[in-house]
């Protein structure tokens, strides 16, 4: 399973299909060859490639939820324990 955090495109080079994407302040160089995106768009990235463009409202809601988890608004003690797979 993969956990995907939305990133915002800060700059993009359409000729090389590379963009600088910010993930909550951490910037990464990613390949945009398989999606049609522009500066300011939000994307999901896997293995260095933007694989999906997100609507801004959806991206911001997802980021908000991750921040709530980070700030311990959902303590793990409230989550039912998982049983081990046999």
Q: What is the pLDDT of residues 3-34, one digit of tens each?
A: 788 999 999 999 999 999 999 899 999 999 99
pLDDT tens-place string over residues 52-69: 999 999 999 998 888 888
Average pLDDT of 64-82? 65
pTM of the model: 0.78
**If you average pLDDT over residues 26-46, what whole number do you get?**
96
**What are the beta bridge partners of residue 44?**
52
DSSP 3-state of 68: helix
CA geometry: angle 62, 51, 4, nearest 5 deg: 35
Distance CA 49, CA 66 (A): 21
Domains of the chain: 7-73 (2.30.30.140)
Residue 82 pLDDT exceeds 50: no
């Amino acid at each position: 399973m993969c956990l995907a955090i939305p990133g915002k495109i800060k700059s993009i080079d359409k000729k090389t299909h590379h963009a600088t994407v910010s993930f909550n302040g951490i910037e990464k160089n990613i390949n945009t060859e398989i999606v049609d995106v522009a500066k300011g768009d939000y994307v999901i990235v896997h293995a260095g490639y933007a694989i999906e463009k997100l609507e801004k409202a959806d991206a911001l809601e997802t980021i908000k939820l991750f921040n709530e988890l980070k700030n311990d608004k959902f303590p793990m003690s409230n989550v039912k324990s998982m049983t081990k797979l046999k």
